[in-house]
């Protein structure tokens, strides 16, 4: 096991009706900015439930945070927040709203040049406006971590950033708030959480059996409840277990003491930045291709994954077979796993390869994925599924 | 899944050499009380490593906290702490030192009568002196939770108490600090952690697959590494995995959304209070007897435990068999599992039954273990092993 630090002070308030505790959690804060997305919370009743809890507060609404939240949008909330002296920001939504809110929370007190520097230059965030979340879309785990991913439309860039001061103070997770989600968003959430676990698990062994088994626990649960909760949106236990899976998949716990990969996410972010593909979709495209290219590096863990997670017998434990089963799981959720199926040819992705080449980044747990390997992965991802 | 809240802000600093970070964690505190036990830390080098990190502090030492820490001892530290204006308390030791330190931390600012009231009357602790830990004996999980168990010699009482203000600010877990532990203490630690998991897992199903699988993950790891780390005290990975197992076994994570039992602990505490048996030993005595008496209530989870944790085939999934395997696991660690083996007869434990009868407590996940059932459990535990 590698040395590690683990710290996660987010208070999780989980279950049906727990929104009733929101007012208590906001004690001491008067001027609250409420952030949300396209307005689905106004159609499914969540907005009313949140506002009822804010009856004694000065509320400033900031809606319209888009999927893959954009700097251009968020900077407007930063201006409003500064002008109005916002004391607390409540994100009501999924990972995009929460990530965007983390940026707003960090940028309001940031006065060291343009706030985009936080994201693009990786400037350490030392101070932020306190925030909390009401989760409506299980997927990213942002409700229980201190990271975020922000895009800039003007430059087609998408970057991750984070800071220990950006943990939400609390997150309210009510599975019933997810009943009205479109099934494709739920499917994307299953893939996102699944990929988060693989990024922290499918590397090389470090004799960390608790972490391995925890990862396998969440993977097995997603395989079991994922397809069912897509099909049956109002089954409470299915939604609850899906929701808790997504949160546990990226809260720092399963990465303690083990190497992490994250190459699939880095490449996937570029597919979103260039072509606007949903985040979960980019992971479903890149992961099978990356595993195929990196199968030798990942051989030991790939075998463990095939055996323990998919229950494969010894004679079925062949990398290509294990990878195909993973890709077919994504496809069984209704997600296309090849670039060609999204109308993107190999020629279209060359700017991504060039971008990695010019950055000189080396990705993956062994830092051996340079732009030539990115090219091979994208080439493979652009081949037709057969 | 049941509704739940989860909050655990303890910063875990894990690994070989991490004591080097202690000084940084104490930034801003000047007057530090260092608590420890019988002085083993002075023989194994841990004391020097800790003190080297406190070179710029005013240090007040309070050693001599005994196993099953006693109010009579701790109250002396409370007096010293008040007199000297202690700002931070650093517990260097195992669960007893950490539990005792939590009491000291709560009692110093407590002025609502005798501090024993905190424990005996369950008075809510709203304020405490901040504390941190350097763990030397993996077992209780106290390094990452907000609870403690305190005894009073004069009245032969042993009670649990807790408060969210009693989470350690940080805990430093260096597996090498455990190399010099006597093997029986390690064996007790394995049983203690194992029992902690069973208390939160072996109840009745609530469709909480993540929590179940996490519990099974830690149980399987303890079954694997427990006997090995007892036999081979200086294998780093074995000790690291044992240490992390103990911490994860009682930090609130696996009890999210599920019922909990704790009857074995409640009865075991009485065996310690009356006869001075080691905590881990009391659990190894009571658990098999309790499971035998409660096998019908726990049938579904007992079967799941036998199948998933012990890998039993369908025809082996008989409660008596599963319970025997559990008892034999404890015995394989060198721990005697019957009262008679400790020279205690059924007649000796009658005061315990009377105490439960006079309290009128009803224990267990179904609150159906009254004093008559406690008597049956103790009767069974007093029968010879054969």
| A240 → closest Cβ in B1, B14, B221 | B1
Given an 8 Å threshold on Cβ–Cβ distance, is A6 in contact with B2?
no
As annotated, the residues of chain A forming the CATH 3.40.50.1970 domain(s) are 11-177
Mean pLDDT throughout A178-189? 97
Given an 8 Å threshold on Cβ–Cβ distance, is B207 in contact with A2?
no
Nearest chain A Cα distance for residue B293, angstroms: 30
Asked if residue B129 has pLDDT above 90, the reply is yes
pTM metric for this prediction: 0.97
Nearest chain B Cα distance for residue A55, angstroms: 24
pLDDT band at A78; cut points 50, 70, 90: very high
pLDDT of residue B81: 98
Average pLDDT, chain A: 97
Residue B231 tokens, joined:
């036999």
pLDDT band at A359; cut points 50, 70, 90: very high
Report the CATH fold assignment for A183-382: Dehydroquinate synthase-like, alpha domain (1.20.1090)
Mean pLDDT throughout A338-349? 96
pLDDT band at B116; cut points 50, 70, 90: very high
- 3-state SS, chain A, equals CCCEEEEEEEEEEECCCHHHHHHHHCCCCCEEEEECCCCHHHHCCHHHHHHHHCCCCEEEEECCCCCCCEHHHHHHHHHHHHHHCCCEEEEEECHHHHHHHHHHHHHCCCCCCCCHHHHHCCCCCCCCCCEEEEECCCCCCHHHCCEEEEEECCCCEEEEEECHHHCCCEEEECHHHHCCCCHHHHHHHHHHHHHHHHHHHCCCCCCCHHHHHHHHHHHHHHHHHHHHHHHCCCCHHHHHHHHHHHHHHCCCCCCCCCCCCCHHHHHHHHHHHHHCCCHHHHHHHHHHHHHHHCCCCCHHHHHHHHHHCCCCCHHHCCHHHHHHHHHHHHHHCCCCCCHHHHCCCHHHHHHHHHHHHHHCCCECCCCCECHHHHHHHHHHHHCCCC
Mean pLDDT throughout B39-47? 95
pLDDT band at A112; cut points 50, 70, 90: confident
Q: Do B339 and B286 touch, CB atoms closer than 8 A? A: no
Interacting residues of A52 by C-beta distance below 8 A, sequence separation 6+: none
Interacting residues of A45 by C-beta distance below 8 A, sequence separation 6+: none
Cβ burial of A2 (10 Å; 0-12, 13-18, 19+) is middle
Nearest chain A Cα distance for residue B245, angstroms: 7
Residues of B in contact with A244 (CB under 8 A): 1, 210, 256-257
With residue B47 as reference, give the H or E element that holds it: helix B46-53
Residues of B in contact with A16 (CB under 8 A): 3
Asked if residue B205 has pLDDT above 90, the reply is yes
Residues of B in contact with A7 (CB under 8 A): 9-12
Given an 8 Å threshold on Cβ–Cβ distance, is A214 in contact with B209?
no
Residues of B in contact with A8 (CB under 8 A): 8-9
Given an 8 Å threshold on Cβ–Cβ distance, is B213 in contact with A209?
no
pLDDT band at A158; cut points 50, 70, 90: confident
Q: Could you tell me the maximum CA-CA distance found in chain B, to the nearest angstrom?
A: 65
pLDDT band at A323; cut points 50, 70, 90: very high
Residues of A in contact with B208 (CB under 8 A): 241
Given an 8 Å threshold on Cβ–Cβ distance, is A217 in contact with B240?
no
pLDDT of residue A277: 95
Residues of A engaging B, defined by a Cβ cutoff of 8 Å: 1-18, 207-210, 213-214, 216-218, 220-221, 224-225, 237, 240-241, 244-245, 248, 253, 256-257
Cβ burial of A201 (10 Å; 0-12, 13-18, 19+) is buried
Asked if residue A238 has pLDDT above 90, the reply is yes
pLDDT band at B158; cut points 50, 70, 90: confident
Given an 8 Å threshold on Cβ–Cβ distance, is B244 in contact with A17?
no
What pLDDT digit, counting tens, does each position of A199-232 carry? 999 999 999 999 999 999 999 999 999 999 999 9
Nearest chain B Cα distance for residue A255, angstroms: 13
Residues of B engaging A, defined by a Cβ cutoff of 8 Å: 1-18, 207-210, 213-214, 216-218, 220-221, 224-225, 237, 240-241, 244-245, 248, 253, 256-257
pLDDT of residue A125: 95
| Chain A residue whose CA is closest to B247 | A210
What is residue B286's three-state secondary structure?
helix
Asked if residue B122 has pLDDT above 90, the reply is no
Given an 8 Å threshold on Cβ–Cβ distance, is A217 in contact with B221?
no
Residues of B in contact with A17 (CB under 8 A): 3
Question: Can you tell me the distance from the alpha carbon of B166 to that of B74, in angstroms, rounded to the nearest whole number?
Answer: 16
Q: Do A326 and A287 touch, CB atoms closer than 8 A? A: yes
ipTM over 0.90: yes
Nearest chain B Cα distance for residue A222, angstroms: 9
Residues of B in contact with A223 (CB under 8 A): none
Cβ burial of B245 (10 Å; 0-12, 13-18, 19+) is buried
Q: What pairs with residue B33 in β-bridges? A: B60, B89
Asked if residue A349 has pLDDT above 90, the reply is yes
Average pLDDT, chain B: 97
pLDDT band at A81; cut points 50, 70, 90: very high
| A13 → closest Cβ in B5, B14, B224 | B5
Interface mutation target, options A176, A217, A304, chain B, most CBs of B under 10 Å:
A217
* Top-confidence residue, A11 or B158: A11
Given an 8 Å threshold on Cβ–Cβ distance, is A220 in contact with B213?
yes
| B210 → closest Cβ in A15, A209, A245 | A245
> Within a 13 Å sphere around the CA of B88, how many CA atoms are in the beta-carbon half?
22
> Does the B11-177 domain belong in CATH 3.40.50.1970?
yes
Question: Can you tell me the distance from the alpha carbon of B329 to that of B335, in angstroms, rounded to the nearest whole number?
Answer: 9
Mean pLDDT throughout A308-334? 98
Mean pLDDT throughout B58-69? 96
How do beta strands A147-152 and A131-135 pair?
unpaired
Given an 8 Å threshold on Cβ–Cβ distance, is A210 in contact with B224?
no
Asked if residue B112 has pLDDT above 90, the reply is no
Nearest chain A Cα distance for residue B241, angstroms: 7
Q: Do B195 and B267 touch, CB atoms closer than 8 A? A: no
Q: Do A96 and A69 touch, CB atoms closer than 8 A? A: yes
Asked if residue A122 has pLDDT above 90, the reply is no
| A257 → closest Cβ in B4, B7, B14 | B14
Nearest chain B Cα distance for residue A217, angstroms: 5
Mean pLDDT throughout B295-323? 98
pLDDT of residue B354: 96
As annotated, the residues of chain B forming the CATH 1.20.1090.10 domain(s) are 183-382
Given an 8 Å threshold on Cβ–Cβ distance, is B213 in contact with A221?
yes
Given an 8 Å threshold on Cβ–Cβ distance, is A7 in contact with B2?
no
Given an 8 Å threshold on Cβ–Cβ distance, is A9 in contact with B4?
no
Q: Which of B87, B301, B287 is nearest to B209 (CA)?
A: B301
| Chain A residue whose CA is closest to B218 | A210
Given an 8 Å threshold on Cβ–Cβ distance, is A244 in contact with B221?
no
Nearest chain A Cα distance for residue B170, angstroms: 9
């Amino acid at each position: 096991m590698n040395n590690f630090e683990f710290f996660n002070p987010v208070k999780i308030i989980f279950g049906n009706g727990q929104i009733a505790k929101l007012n208590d959690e906001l004690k001491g804060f008067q001027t609250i900015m409420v952030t949300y997305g396209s307005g689905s919370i106004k159609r499914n009743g969540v907005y009313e439930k949140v506002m009822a809890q804010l009856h004694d507060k000065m509320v400033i609404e900031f809606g319209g945070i888009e999927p893959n939240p954009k700097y251009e949008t968020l900077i407007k909330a930063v201006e409003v927040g500064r002008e109005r002296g916002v004391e607390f920001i409540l994100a009501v939504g999924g990972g995009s709203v929460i990530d965007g809110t983390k940026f707003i929370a960090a940028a309001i007190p940031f006065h060291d040049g343009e706030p985009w520097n936080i994201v693009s230059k990786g400037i350490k965030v030392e101070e932020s406006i306190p925030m909390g979340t009401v989760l409506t879309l299980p997927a990213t785990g942002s409700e229980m971590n201190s990271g975020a991913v922000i895009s800039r439309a003007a430059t087609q860039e998408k970057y991750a950033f984070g800071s220990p001061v950006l943990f939400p103070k609390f997150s309210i997770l009510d599975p019933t708030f997810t009943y009205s989600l479109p099934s494709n968003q739920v499917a994307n959430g299953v893939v996102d959480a699944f990929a988060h676990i693989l990024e922290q698990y499918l590397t090389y062994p470090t004799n960390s059996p608790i972490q391995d088994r925890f990862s396998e626990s969440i993977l097995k649960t997603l395989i079991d409840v994922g397809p069912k909760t897509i099909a049956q949106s109002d089954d409470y236990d299915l939604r609850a277990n899906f929701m808790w899976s997504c949160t546990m998949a990226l809260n720092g716990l399963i990465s303690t003491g083990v190497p992490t990969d994250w190459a699939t996410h880095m490449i996937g972010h570029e597919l979103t930045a260039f072509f606007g593909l949903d985040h979960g979709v980019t992971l479903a495209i890149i992961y099978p291709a990356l595993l195929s290219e990196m199968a030798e590096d990942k051989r030991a863990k790939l075998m463990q994954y095939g055996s323990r997670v998919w229950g494969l017998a010894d004679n079925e434990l062949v990398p290509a077979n294990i990878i195909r089963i993973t890709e077919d799981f994504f496809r069984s959720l209704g997600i296309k796993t090849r670039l060609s199926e999204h109308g993107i040819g190999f020629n279209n992705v060359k700017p991504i390869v060039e971008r990695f080449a010019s950055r000189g980044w080396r990705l993956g747990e062994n830092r051996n994925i340079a732009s030539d390997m990115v090219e091979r992965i994208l080439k493979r991802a652009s081949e037709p599924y057969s």
